[in-house]
Chains A and B, each alone.
Chain A
Amino acid sequence: MSNAQPPQASFWNDTGRSGIAAWIFSTDHKRIGLLYLYSTFGFFLTGVLLGLLLRIELIAPGRTIVGPQTYNALFTVHGVVMIFLFILPSFPGAFGNLVMPIQVGARDVAFPRLNLLSWWLYIIGAVIVLVSLFTGGGAPDTGWTFYVPFSARTGTNVSLAVFGVFIIGFSAILTGLNFITTIHRLRAPGMTWDRLPLFTWSLYATAWVQVLATPILAITLVLVMAERLLGTGLFDPARGGDPLMYQHLFWIYSHPAVYIMILPAMGVISDIIPVFSRKPIFGYKMIAFSSLAIAAAGSLVWGHHMFTSGMSDTAVLVFSFLTFIVAIPSAIKVFNWVSTLYRGSISLEAPMLFALSFILLFSIGGLSGLILGAAATDVHVHDTHFVVGHFHYVMFGGSGFAFFAAMHYWLPKFYGRRYAEKPALLAWALMFTGFNLLYFTMQVLGMKGMPRRYYDYLPEFASLNLLATVGSWILAAGLVIMLVNLFRGLRGGVPFEGNPWGGATLEWSVATPPPTENFEEEPLVTHGPYDFEGMGKP
């Protein structure tokens, strides 16, 4: 990563240490951000490979490449890697660290050393998860949900994997604390709350979820370990325990966790769309407020994962109602994004294409979520491929595409070089096509009744599964083109200078790449984040 030779003094070459130590012991938020970017994106690629293997196995009924036990381990590891090692830490860790302190006009986050510790905790947890795959009874085969009593009795290496995730949880809590403090205390003069860029607003809402919800995951995981190692019997009906209590505890964290994954993505979109429309964001306050509303109401809907579990019908009633309520702030955001385009001056460059496709894919994901929120229809599609499709529309079509948008939008700023535009558009077109072929087909499969986590399936599901697998290859081809293009461009592409897109947030006012101190002197903020009057024309 240090091969890139930026043209001027910047955080790339201004360092006291040398070699790898200059990176892994750096407390500079930009270096830590890049550490997160490389490590989380590495795990993303691992997860993609596992996902492709899953799709190859499902290309036809019966055994194709692996046996059932291996398949079950593959989808478990795919889920654990993608959720705990990629999506959860990547947005706050990578782009939150890179961009947020500059956006608020600060020199660094509030606690730089704590920030470094967070990355280290993440890496230690990730290594423990990796070790768990190859030691003990083999890779966990429980699904990323670790449902008891199965997870308490399987002979695979669940305890160690769970311990790794437990450690990663602390990384998330510390990052959340750090960001809340930074946004409250380190804003530059004139950076009032209503001048805060919406990406920073979304990170602020996310940070509260990280701080408040992650401890519940930690408690739940400790209880699973106690169940396995000490035989506490809290979840074991044979000893008076209750398996449903585990599901409640798990989803009290894991549903809000979905908002940790999607809120920063919404923030990225809210920052990109005004810049490429050269027009202020429509409904700034509503978008900022809806992030807080999602973070708050999203903590009260976990029970919609359990409509068929046997919990009381009253609970089904309440959770279904609250689930529909949490849909409203998301809808408000979509309407405001689309209205921002109205009478703008729209440029369809790579970040904007990814951002616009986010709106479409997230809408499909969100609307299919309404099917899952209604009690009657949820029963039919629960635990089927419909849920798998829905989840990937929101998490991959949503967070994933927003992550790609953020890479194309912000990375040139930090590398001082840019990627080629045409391959970026080709990659986008392939990924968008392959994505819909893969996951829309999954939703149809689920409607027809194919359960999820199925190694083998009846012949009636064969042609759609073949179609989905072909979609996964098109998606992967696009991904490879995107990565090669980014890698080549950021290493040796044409220089990226100044503010070619005319962004009005503070990160576009500093040198490219930013110097270690970010700002030569403390900035005085005199305009809003989407006030493009007087910004450089493209």
Chain B
Amino acid sequence: MNPARLMTTTEAIDPVFMFIFGACLVLLIGITAAMLYFVVRYHRSKAPEATSKAEGNLWLEIIWTVLPTMLVLAMFYYGWSGYLTLRNVPEEAMEVTATARMWSWSFSYANGVTSPKLYVPVGRPVRVNLVSQDVIHGFFLPAFRVKRDVVPGMKNHAWFVASKAGSYDLFCSQYCGTSHSAMISTVEALPEAEFAAWMEHEKSGEEQKEHPGHELLEKHGCLGCHSEDGSARVGPTLKGIWGRSVTVETNGAGRVVIADEAYLRRSILEPGADLVKGFPPIMPPFTLKDDELRAIVQYLRGLK
């Protein structure tokens, strides 16, 4: 790695693409041209009988075994050295933890600030530690040619550096269920000063403590499917849920229940038991402690 200027992941990967694409293009054009030429030149209308009975040629076989072998070994080597750039995180990298859950991202910084978008300073390499709370997700930044799976129970990481300010797509690349394609965010690359200002603002914002129930909903990823503002998502909205009369299916039979504490608790612990009409049976059961459940129910009571 050049100590004077950091090589970005994009700069490491793109030449490998160019090399392999170039070689493939030459091969493809060669094969196609030979095929077309032979088909035209030796078409039965011009060549009523085959003029060769050759059943093979040892030297040709050797040539087209050895040359492709050398070519693919070059591709292998080039591909491997580019991959090493992706794996060797620069020492001065800033650490961020990306937490993935069905179906949202949250990014937390060393000072405790969390954000649904990944804010980074321009020119500073960022090491992203990847944590999953449920199933396997994929952390994918097309602009930086970076991808790494986010596997529950594993400590995966990735790194990148944004050399220009801007907003870059961040996708979940490993299929994770109903709203997989909605599990997208952005990398917001800000000039160093603007990034520092953003961080200051977020830190002060942290002091206004949210309701613990809301924090739990955010922590367990409930808000990925259940909105707090009445808008429709994969699951029913939580706005005004307390005391609402809900049509549910219990063991296949429809009935109407009032959303009380018992109902809300059961819906979290055993979501399939009373399924709200019109919604798919896809919510996984959550195992929460009693005080956590109490805090959530108390918060939902007040969510008008």
Give A residues with C-beta under 8 Å from B: 68-69, 72, 137-138, 141-143, 147, 149-150, 153-156, 237-238, 242-244, 277-286, 307-310, 313, 316-317, 320-321, 324-325, 327-328, 331-332, 334-336, 338-339, 341-348, 356, 359-360, 363-364, 367-368, 370-371, 373-380, 382-384, 448-449, 451-458, 532
B61 CB–A CB distance under 8 Å: yes
Of the A-B pairs whose beta carbons lie under 8 Å apart in the complex, a sample of 8, sorted by A's number, is A68-B180, A238-B152, A284-B55, A313-B84, A341-B38, A359-B31, A380-B145, A380-B147
> Given the complex of chains A and B, what is the CA–CA distance between A154 and B164 in angstroms?
41
B114 CB–A CB distance under 8 Å: no
Asked whether A331 lies within 8 Å of B68 as measured between CB atoms, the reply is yes
Contacts known (A68-B181, A72-B177); A374 close to B75, Cβ less than 8 A: yes
**Residue numbers in B under 8 Å from A380 (CB-CB):** 13, 17, 142, 145-147
Query: A283: nearest residue on chain B (CB-CB)?
Result: B56
Asked whether B49 lies within 8 Å of A376 as measured between CB atoms, the reply is no
Asked whether B172 lies within 8 Å of A451 as measured between CB atoms, the reply is yes
Output the least CB separation between B67 and chain A (Å). Answer: 9
Known A283-B61, A374-B76; 6 more pairs at CB < 8 Å? A141-B282, A280-B53, A332-B68, A335-B64, A344-B42, A380-B17
Asked whether A373 lies within 8 Å of B31 as measured between CB atoms, the reply is no
B48, B64, B86: which contacts A376 (Cβ < 8 A)?
B86
Asked whether B179 lies within 8 Å of A68 as measured between CB atoms, the reply is yes
Of the candidate stretches B130-138, B255-263, B290-298, the one touching chain A is B130-138
**Residue numbers in A under 8 Å from B272 (CB-CB):** 155
Asked whether A327 lies within 8 Å of B72 as measured between CB atoms, the reply is yes
User: Which residues of chain B from 143 to 179 have any CB-CB distance to chain A below 8 Å in the complex?
Assistant: 143, 145-149, 151-154, 156, 169, 171-179
Output the least CB separation between B179 and chain A (Å). Answer: 6
Output the least CB separation between B55 and chain A (Å). Answer: 5
Asked whether A242 lies within 8 Å of B39 as measured between CB atoms, the reply is no
Give B residues with C-beta under 8 Å from A: 12-13, 16-17, 20-21, 23-24, 27-28, 31-32, 34-35, 38-39, 42-44, 47-57, 60-61, 64-65, 68-69, 72-73, 75-76, 78-87, 134-136, 138, 140, 142-143, 145-149, 151-154, 156, 169, 171-182, 184, 234, 272, 280-282, 284
> Given the complex of chains A and B, what is the CA–CA distance between A332 and B43 in angstroms?
24
Contacts known (A308-B147, A377-B79); A382 close to B173, Cβ less than 8 A: yes
A147, A281, A320, A451: which contacts B136 (Cβ < 8 A)?
A147
6 tightest Cβ-Cβ pairs between the two chains A and B: A237-B153, A449-B142, A374-B79, A376-B82, A375-B83, A341-B38
**Residue numbers in B under 8 Å from A371 (CB-CB):** 17, 20-21, 24
> Given the complex of chains A and B, what is the CA–CA distance between A345 and B51 in angstroms?
8
Asked whether B280 lies within 8 Å of A69 as measured between CB atoms, the reply is yes
**Residue numbers in A under 8 Å from B81 (CB-CB):** 376
Which has the most chain A C-beta neighbours within 10 Å: B73, B142, B149, B280?
A: B149
Asked whether A379 lies within 8 Å of B56 as measured between CB atoms, the reply is no
Asked whether A377 lies within 8 Å of B20 as measured between CB atoms, the reply is yes
> Given the complex of chains A and B, what is the CA–CA distance between A523 and B172 in angstroms?
61
**Residue numbers in B under 8 Å from A281 (CB-CB):** 55
Asked whether A383 lies within 8 Å of B28 as measured between CB atoms, the reply is no
**Residue numbers in B under 8 Å from A237 (CB-CB):** 151-154
**Residue numbers in A under 8 Å from B34 (CB-CB):** 338, 341
A363, A374, A383, A454: which contacts B147 (Cβ < 8 A)?
A383
Contacts known (A149-B152, A150-B177, A382-B173); A356 close to B39, Cβ less than 8 A: yes
Asked whether A313 lies within 8 Å of B152 as measured between CB atoms, the reply is no
Contacts known (A282-B56, A332-B61); A324 close to B24, Cβ less than 8 A: no
> Given the complex of chains A and B, what is the CA–CA distance between A456 and B172 in angstroms?
12
Output the least CB separation between A311 and chain B (Å). Answer: 10
> Given the complex of chains A and B, what is the CA–CA distance between A307 and B86 in angstroms?
12
Contacts known (A279-B52, A324-B73, A367-B27); A154 close to B171, Cβ less than 8 A: no
> Given the complex of chains A and B, what is the CA–CA distance between A143 and B34 in angstroms?
40
A69, A320, A348: which contacts B178 (Cβ < 8 A)?
A69
A242, A284, A451, A453: which contacts B140 (Cβ < 8 A)?
A451
Asked whether A155 lies within 8 Å of B43 as measured between CB atoms, the reply is no
Output the least CB separation between A365 and chain B (Å). Answer: 11
> Given the complex of chains A and B, what is the CA–CA distance between A345 and B284 in angstroms?
64
Asked whether B56 lies within 8 Å of A284 as measured between CB atoms, the reply is yes
Asked whether B171 lies within 8 Å of A449 as measured between CB atoms, the reply is yes
Asked whether B149 lies within 8 Å of A308 as measured between CB atoms, the reply is yes
Query: A136: nearest residue on chain B (CB-CB)?
Result: B281
Asked whether A383 lies within 8 Å of B173 as measured between CB atoms, the reply is yes
**Residue numbers in B under 8 Å from A149 (CB-CB):** 134-136, 152
Asked whether B72 lies within 8 Å of A328 as measured between CB atoms, the reply is yes
Which has the most chain B C-beta neighbours within 10 Å: A310, A331, A376?
A: A376
Which has the most chain B C-beta neighbours within 10 Å: A156, A364, A370?
A: A370
> Given the complex of chains A and B, what is the CA–CA distance between A193 and B73 in angstroms?
33
Contacts known (A324-B72, A448-B142); A376 close to B177, Cβ less than 8 A: no
**Residue numbers in A under 8 Å from B60 (CB-CB):** 283, 335, 339
**Residue numbers in B under 8 Å from A309 (CB-CB):** 149, 151
Asked whether A328 lies within 8 Å of B68 as measured between CB atoms, the reply is yes
Output the least CB separation between B108 and chain A (Å). Answer: 20
Asked whether A458 lies within 8 Å of B56 as measured between CB atoms, the reply is no
> Given the complex of chains A and B, what is the CA–CA distance between A76 and B23 in angstroms?
35
**Residue numbers in A under 8 Å from B47 (CB-CB):** 343-346
> Given the complex of chains A and B, what is the CA–CA distance between A401 and B10 in angstroms?
37
Asked whether B76 lies within 8 Å of A373 as measured between CB atoms, the reply is yes
Contacts known (A278-B50, A341-B42); A379 close to B146, Cβ less than 8 A: yes
**Residue numbers in B under 8 Å from A243 (CB-CB):** 136, 151-154
Query: A384: nearest residue on chain B (CB-CB)?
Result: B173
> Given the complex of chains A and B, what is the CA–CA distance between A458 and B87 in angstroms?
29
Asked whether A242 lies within 8 Å of B153 as measured between CB atoms, the reply is yes
> Given the complex of chains A and B, what is the CA–CA distance between A153 and B283 in angstroms?
9
Asked whether B152 lies within 8 Å of A342 as measured between CB atoms, the reply is no
Asked whether A346 lies within 8 Å of B145 as measured between CB atoms, the reply is no
**Residue numbers in B under 8 Å from A285 (CB-CB):** 56
> Given the complex of chains A and B, what is the CA–CA distance between A371 and B17 in angstroms?
7
> Given the complex of chains A and B, what is the CA–CA distance between A346 and B57 in angstroms?
21
> Given the complex of chains A and B, what is the CA–CA distance between A281 and B54 in angstroms?
8
Query: A530: nearest residue on chain B (CB-CB)?
Result: B55
**Residue numbers in A under 8 Å from B180 (CB-CB):** 68, 72, 453-455
Asked whether A147 lies within 8 Å of B73 as measured between CB atoms, the reply is no
Contacts known (A69-B282, A360-B32, A453-B175); A344 close to B76, Cβ less than 8 A: no
**Residue numbers in B under 8 Å from A153 (CB-CB):** 134-135, 284
Query: B172: nearest residue on chain A (CB-CB)?
Result: A451
Query: B79: nearest residue on chain A (CB-CB)?
Result: A374
> Given the complex of chains A and B, what is the CA–CA distance between A313 and B83 in angstroms?
9
Contacts known (A308-B147, A382-B173, A457-B181); A345 close to B49, Cβ less than 8 A: yes
Asked whether B76 lies within 8 Å of A321 as measured between CB atoms, the reply is yes
Query: B55: nearest residue on chain A (CB-CB)?
Result: A280
Contacts known (A317-B80, A328-B72, A342-B42); A279 close to B13, Cβ less than 8 A: no
Asked whether A310 lies within 8 Å of B72 as measured between CB atoms, the reply is no
B51, B56, B154: which contacts A310 (Cβ < 8 A)?
B154
Query: B60: nearest residue on chain A (CB-CB)?
Result: A339
> Given the complex of chains A and B, what is the CA–CA distance between A313 and B79 in angstroms?
13
Asked whether A310 lies within 8 Å of B151 as measured between CB atoms, the reply is yes
> Given the complex of chains A and B, what is the CA–CA distance between A345 and B42 in angstroms?
5
Output the least CB separation between B99 and chain A (Å). Answer: 15
Asked whether A373 lies within 8 Å of B140 as measured between CB atoms, the reply is no
